[in-house]
Structure 1
Amino acid sequence: MRFGNALVNISACCRRLPLASRPLESLIRFQSSTNTAVLLQKNLAQRNNSLYNYGNDTLRCTILDSQGNVGTPSLEVKREDLISMHGLLPRDLRKIEKSRKKDLVPILLVRENSIFISLLTMRALVKSDQVILFDSVGLSLESRAHRTFLNDLTMRLRNQDGNGISKDPLPYEFRALESIFVSALSNMSAEMKVHLTLTRGILQDLEYSITRDKLRFLLIQNKRLSQFYKKTSLMGEMIDDLLEQDDVLSDMYLSSKCTGKFRDEKDHTEIEMLLETYYAHVDEIVQTVGNTISDVRTTEEIINIILDANRNQLMLLGLRFSIGLLSMGCVLYVASLYGMNLENFIEEGDHGFILIVVVGVISMSLTFGYSIRQLHRLQKMTLTESSKGHV
């Protein structure tokens, strides 16, 4: 405020100065506008950093202990502390720092004593006795989906008997991964139902009438469906690649490493069965969405065929009008010749008018009939006839 008041006082004084001192006033105004622009840029940069965590040395995360108890939500943890405490690499956190609300590429990285997984909006660091959930941008702790995921994760990590449910024999890290996969698949299934309902509805409406608005909505929905298909396909490819790497699967047994029991590369039955189960669900979603995209493409091809047929009918109608005008032109030509103010032998007879009318009608009929016959011949032309003609 003091700086702004000083600028106002200086500018007021400059107005009282003679014309020779006016360049000083313009210079002060230029500096004032420059300072304002710099302040606005700094405010925007700070706002973007607070939203996306760009340029900050801390990450927001929620930590769950070995008993599934949730610590302080959205806890600010330094980037260097995460790397040093959990044996990560600086590039492992790049996925989190540059994250948005949705990311198409899923990732599952296995380190010495941790597993980093990124599925849809969920990003977590799983250890043998701890789970760190990184809070994505726009993921509110009060959202229903996030509360459901936290409750399921807490229940699976506690692994207590009760309500007729026995303890899960899977280790701590696999129970955490299972909860993440279940939440991701439930979100994908819900999103798939929305896309399928909208797509099938517009396809049914197109069976009764084809309008511009419906075609535009179908185009938009097809783009969204293709994006969702790409997202599910990438998740399936990620799981498939993991199933083919025996050494990575055996390294995912973090609890065994902590107890000093190193497993053989072929001894990974539990995690293999777990991944195969969720791969089957992902593949089912991929096949369902793929079939819907195929239906959309088939509908688009049928619509294009119908539009081509309508264009052909309009062209034929225009050709028929052109043929009729050409035939009438022959009559008009004969009539113009007869109507000239020139002497000819027809004027001497009594049947000149009838002769001209008959000649005009005959010429018009012959021209119209020949042109229509040629048009029908082009309509009935087949591939065999065209190939014979080229030979």
Structure 2
Amino acid sequence: MERRQPAPLALRRKGAVPAREWLVVPAAGEARTAEFGKQRIMEMTGLPARDLRVLDPLLSYPSTILGRDRAVVVNLEHVKAIVTAAEALVPDPVNPLLRPFLTDLHTRLALPDVPSTSPATDRGTDTDQSEGNGPTLALYRSGSVKILPFEFKVLEVCLEHTCKCLESEVWALEKEAYPALDELTSKVSTLNLEHVRQIKRRLVELAGRVQKVRDELEHLLDNDMDMSEMYLTRKLTFQGFSESLGRVGSNKDASTYHDEEKEEEDRDDDIETGRESFAYVKPNIEELEMLLEAYFVQVDGTLNKLYNLREYVDDTEDYINIMLDEKQNQLLQMDVMLTTATVVVTAGIAVVSLFGMNIHIDLMKDPETPEEARIKNMKFLETTWGAVAGCIVIYLLAIYAGKKSKILQ
């Protein structure tokens, strides 16, 4: 694929040539960067414009994996790529978040393919190469050689990097959340409550992202046709086989008009037979299914960790609410006891008020002899201590009645 020259800055500013930087990673060869417009990407991959919007950084799209006729669109968190049978296109390769992903991708593609042979078919079967069409048809017919196609290698790196990033975020959140929740149970304060609130917000956001990745993998696993569409190399192989049948029929020499007509009919029958055989071949999606299931289990385990953390947060909230209810009950009991004491003291004040009235009685007269003074002092003390004792008795009876009726504990 030839490299497009960068458009002039003035044209890009005017919007005449909307170009975007892409990293082109071929199946064989060195990776290179180039600038392609949307129309050029559509010509290279056969994707419609609506699929390219999934990779637009200005639009917010959830995690999606789309299988199309000539390409697979991958949008998993910050990992975005268009994968064909021969190359992978990664937009915005200068993004710092993509550096680990690009490193893993280069490392994985640099590893040599080690084909595994089946014991039942390992008898020196020749696997002829079709002209520029990737793996041979005999590879898929006999199953003697099993090499992971290029598109699945790239897809595996995308899934692995996405799962690794989500797992690291969950681990960091758990490392921060559990100590904060334990601290909140020991000391309820405004600072601790605000910290837990922020953790809960991050937890909900992260759980939604992980849930979307899990739902997308589950959707692919439940739809065999979507998975069969992602076998780009196999589709190119069958397409090359059908074209080779057409070329064989067109190279035959015709001696007579009858022979030409007969050979043309035979050629059409051969091509139609090849097409019918391709149409009626049951897609073997076991390889991709096993790949998706492995990462589905990993994402599901990550989601379970978030659910466990969410349950721990809910349990902590319930515990805090129970503690607050207990404190509130203690305050209510104290309020009842203080109110009872106020009522009792008010009763004593009423007795004092009665004796403080300006009424002429014998008790209010000045004593004439020391004996009368002593008697009046004794009556004063008896009245005072009697009022105090009465208030205490009334208070104790009120508290006893409250505990007996289980109003107080």
TM range (shorter): 0.7 to 0.9
> Over the residues paired in the alignment, what is the CA RMSD in angstroms?
3.1
Residue in 2 that maps onto 1:276: 293
Q: Give me the whole-angstrom Cα distance separating, in 2, the residues matched to 1:239 and 1:190.
A: 20
Q: Give me the whole-angstrom Cα distance separating, in 2, the residues matched to 1:235 and 1:280.
A: 11
- Paired letter, 2:345: M
Distance 1:56 1:355, change over 3 A: farther
Residue in 2 that maps onto 1:227: 205
Residues 185 and 316, structure 2, Cα contact 8 Å, conserved in 1: no
Which of 294, 298, 309 is 2:315 aligned to?
A: 298
Residue in 2 that maps onto 1:97: 56
1:364 matches 2:391: yes
Residues 101 and 157, structure 2, Cα contact 8 Å, conserved in 1: yes
Q: Give me the whole-angstrom Cα distance separating, in 2, the residues matched to 1:287 and 1:328.
A: 61
Deviation at 1:310? 1.5
Deviations 1:68-126 (A, max 9, x none): 52111xx33111222233221221122222547xx672011111111111001011111
Q: Which runs of 5+ in 2 are unaligned?
A: 1-8, 118-144, 240-277, 366-374
After TM superposition, the structure 1 = structure 2 runs for residues 303-342 of structure 1, keeping only pairs within 5 Å, are 303-342=320-359
- Paired letter, 2:315: T
Residues 86 and 113, structure 1, Cα contact 8 Å, conserved in 2: yes
Residue in 1 that maps onto 2:235: 257
Which of 215, 222, 241 is 2:219 aligned to?
A: 241
Q: Give me the whole-angstrom Cα distance separating, in 2, the residues matched to 1:184 and 1:298.
A: 30
- Worse-matched range after superposition: 254-263 or 125-134: 254-263
Distance 1:363 1:65, change over 3 A: same
1:205 matches 2:164: no
Residue in 2 that maps onto 1:6: none
Among all aligned residue pairs of Structure 1 and Structure 2, give the percentage whose two residues are the same amino acid. 24
- Paired letter, 2:294: T
Greater relative contact order (Cα 8 A, min sep 6): structure 1 or 2? 2
Count how many residue pairs are aligned between Structure 1 and Structure 2. Answer: 321
Q: Give me the whole-angstrom Cα distance separating, in 2, the residues matched to 1:153 and 1:367.
A: 85
Deviation at 1:344? 4.3
Distance 1:99 1:374, change over 3 A: farther
Instruction: Give the 4+ runs in structure 1 shifted more than 6 A.
Output: 165-168
Q: Give me the whole-angstrom Cα distance separating, in 1, the residues matched to 2:401 and 2:30.
A: 85
Residues 106 and 119, structure 1, Cα contact 8 Å, conserved in 2: yes
Q: Give me the whole-angstrom Cα distance separating, in 1, the residues matched to 2:40 and 2:298.
A: 37
Distance 1:254 1:377, change over 3 A: farther
Residue in 1 that maps onto 2:107: 155
- Paired letter, 1:316: Q
Distance 1:60 1:367, change over 3 A: farther
Distance 1:371 1:98, change over 3 A: farther
Which of 170, 184, 198 is 1:192 aligned to?
A: 170
Residues 151 and 232, structure 2, Cα contact 8 Å, conserved in 1: yes
- Paired letter, 2:383: I
Distance 1:377 1:89, change over 3 A: farther
Which of 47, 72, 87 is 2:46 aligned to?
A: 87
- Worse-matched range after superposition: 84-93 or 247-256: 84-93
Q: Give me the whole-angstrom Cα distance separating, in 1, the residues matched to 2:146 and 2:352.
A: 102
Deviations 1:176-195 (A, max 9, x none): 10011111111111111111
Residue in 2 that maps onto 1:177: 155
Distance 1:221 1:168, change over 3 A: farther
Q: Which runs of 5+ in 1 are unaligned?
A: 1-45, 383-391
Distance 1:341 1:265, change over 3 A: farther
Distance 1:217 1:308, change over 3 A: same
Deviation at 1:260? 1.4
- Paired letter, 2:102: L
Residue in 1 that maps onto 2:80: 123
Q: Give me the whole-angstrom Cα distance separating, in 2, the residues matched to 1:98 and 1:159.
A: 31
SS of 1:259's equivalent? helix
Distance 1:206 1:168, change over 3 A: farther
After TM superposition, the structure 1 = structure 2 runs for residues 343-362 of structure 1, keeping only pairs within 5 Å, are 343-344=360-361, 347=364, 350=376, 352-354=379-381, 356-357=383-384, 360-362=387-389
Residues 22 and 89, structure 2, Cα contact 8 Å, conserved in 1: yes
Residues 66 and 158, structure 1, Cα contact 8 Å, conserved in 2: no
SS of 1:325's equivalent? helix
- Worse-matched range after superposition: 218-227 or 78-87: 78-87
SS of 1:260's equivalent? helix
Distance 1:108 1:230, change over 3 A: same
Distance 1:246 1:297, change over 3 A: same
SS of 1:64's equivalent? strand
